[in-house]
Amino acid sequence: MSHPHPELPLPPALPSKGLRIVALGGLGEVGRNMAVLEYEGRLLVIDCGVLFPEDHQPGVDLILPDFEYIKDRLDDIEAIVLTHGHEDHIGAVPYLLRLRRDIPLVGSRLTLAFVEAKLKEHRIRPVLRVVAEDQTERFGPFDCEFVAVNHSIPDALAVAVTTGAGTVLHTGDFKMDQLPLDGRITDLRAFARLGEKGVDLFMVDSTNAEVPGFVTNEVEIGPALDAAFAQAEKRIVVASFSSHVHRVQQVLNAAHAHGRKVALVGRSMVRNMGIASELGYLDVPPGVLVELKQAASLPDDRIVYMSTGSQGEPMAALSRMANGDHKVQVGHGDTVILASSLIPGNENSVFRVINGLTRLGARVVHSGNAKVHVSGHASAGELLYCYNVLKPRNVMPVHGEVRHLVANAALAVRTGVPADRVILAEDGVVVDLVDGKASVVGAVPCGYVFVDGSTVGAVTENELKDRRTLAEEGFVSVFAVVDTATGKVLAGPQILARGMAEDNAVFEEVQPDVVKALEDAIAGGATDTYQLQQVMRRVIGQWVSRRLRRRPMIVPVVVEA
């Protein structure tokens, strides 16, 4: 298997009739999915999603793919193909379209409806190309055939991209549920037909590659939800992704069967389900949906709140309920159902929400104690089927953390794909498909781009390090007035600490050391205030580290008299 080396050089020029693939996100992480294909000087983008921040990225709202690689080549982009409507595949589209607004967006009807609603908030009117399974469209030198795949959202598509270099099949996110709620299965007949013609590179979803066997069918969730509803004494809150149409459908059905009304909670949930209902992907039983205001007047045993926040996102509805600062006040006898799986990295946030809800007296039902969710990603057994049906010449696992990619690669090798034709890449690694052989040829810079409030890319790792220091170690400010002519400290040093358990009086012990260090520095010829500030920082830092066992952020200020 070809492993990327951390010191890979910049790639050479793309050979004639070669196809270049660069993932700008999604390799080594669950989210931020984006791949750029290049052929004859033209580019095709597949997906453009976001990654949600973890605890060690305080204050960050979203993480985007790094567009630097294509920033100077925006006019070369033929289209952005979107495999489905989840945020980790479409969430960064507005930020790319800010750079060039007329890039055509290609996807299924529901996917593009979700994207269009999102872009309206950014005041961007997109160029849309609606496609469906069994359809073939040409974008510049790229012939794209779209294939139905089953996922945890309706209308998902895989895409087979054919150029003079061969055919690449990109699955997007998929599984092989044989009894899907909407009757739309992954089209293995199309996979087999493509395999007969020849798949030169198979870019395949890795998220569940470590999980043996097959994913449970979605229809088996219905009885588990029904049982949870039957046992509920008071109000029910169900949390799910705001785009999980199938799960919302099951909640609507269960509520209808148990004589309850459903109120949608969360702006994205209201927006997406409105779109899904309007387009016919969501069948709302008559009279079941009510407005949130109306729900408050209903008896507790007659209402279900369908909410966002299943991943413990701090500002989402469920987290605010757990903290007691939402208009829906969860209490004793209420039932909360987390109808989603844990995205890696979100465990602490989700458990914090579960503990908060439990403390309020709610009964919390989740995938750890009841079958209220199944994954939307193919497990190892399903992936083996795909490899055997397709017999791909080369394989490049995508969509997953490193452990998922490695597990997926091992499955490919077990089915007979030569180990030297299985590419394990990370974000920014450049893979060229030339004469039927895929190989790593270099890497391009590819970092995290943080969205923080209204700023994009302004927050760096250094700023995040400062935020972590402030959160974990506290803050110390030190102020002094000096007369460089006489070499004396006229006032201070005044030392104030925040976020530290110790009283400010403890710093009286180090004040003489700071004064001496400043006067020694001035006597030694230091007159620049920056130099003197660094002297104070060093003395305080060493003392705090030795005496208090802390490494706070220290902000020194020296003023000349």
What tokens were used for 191? 């996979």
Is residue 72 part of the annotated active site? The answer reads no
Q: Is the dihedral of CA 517, 520, 526, 527 positive or negative?
A: positive
Q: Enumerate residues 6+ apart whose C-beta is below 8 A from 161.
A: 37, 44, 46, 142, 143, 144, 167, 168, 169, 170
CA distances from residue 304 to 170, 247, 337, 517 in whole angstroms, order as listed: 38, 14, 10, 66
Known binding-site residue numbers: 59, 61, 84, 86, 88-89, 151, 173, 242-244, 373-377, 399, 452
Look-up of token digits 């089915």:
415
- Cα–Cα distance between 396 and 385 in angstroms, integer? 16
- Cα–Cα distance between 301 and 397 in angstroms, integer? 47
- Cα–Cα distance between 278 and 282 in angstroms, integer? 8
List the 19-25 sheet strands across, edge first: 127-130, 104-107, 77-81, 42-46, 34-39, 19-25, 429-434, 437-443
Which is catalytic among the residues 205, 334, 427, 432? 205
- Cα–Cα distance between 37 and 144 in angstroms, integer? 12
Known binding-site residue numbers for substrate: 242-244, 373-377
Residue (of 408, 434, 439, 445) closest to 423 by Cα position: 439
Which is catalytic among the residues 170, 246, 366, 377? 377
Q: Is the dihedral of CA 70, 76, 79, 83 positive or negative?
A: negative
- Cα–Cα distance between 174 and 155 in angstroms, integer? 11
Is residue 5 part of the annotated active site? The answer reads no
Question: Do the Cβ atoms of 183 and 275 come closer than 8 Å?
Answer: no
> Vertex 34, ends 32 and 39: CA angle to 5°?
170
Give the count of beta carbons closer than 10 Å to the beta carbon of residue 191.
Answer: 23
Question: Do the Cβ atoms of 46 and 83 come closer than 8 Å?
Answer: yes
Known binding-site residue numbers for Ca(2+): 59, 61, 452
Instruction: List, by residue number, the catalytic residues.
Output: 205, 377
